[in-house]
Amino acid sequence: MHLLFTVEHIQAELKENITQAQERHRKNADKHRAEAPELNISDQAYVKAKFFRTRQPSKKLSEKNLGPYDIIGKPGTHSVTLHLPCQFCSIHPV
């Protein structure tokens, strides 16, 4: 009986320590995070060029961002649908 109480006590203390450690890590990580910009339909946004193949001979010389492209939809809180030109027709616009 005494051993069972000790094991339960240790488990409860470990759970509490894990919860406190997670909270400390969350607070520290949140210090370095920035809020997502508020984008509305008809605004314009850039797209990172690393997701596209370009005809530049060197990635070093190519643009880092492509655009700006018009936002035509907002399917989620952190995603937008862009009106991309025909040369990017094989790319999903979200």
Place of tokens 């190519």: 62
Q: How many CB atoms lie within 10 A of CB 52?
A: 14
pLDDT at 26: 95
Place of tokens 């700006």: 68
Q: pLDDT tens-digit profile of 54-89? A: 777 887 888 889 889 999 999 988 889 998 888 877
Q: pLDDT tens-digit profile of 18-35? A: 999 999 999 999 998 888
* DSSP code string of 14-81: HHHHHHHHHHHHHHHHHHT--PPP---TT-EEEEEGGGS--S-S-TTTS-SEEEEEEEEE--SSS--E
> According to DSSP H, which parts of 1-94 are helical?
2-31
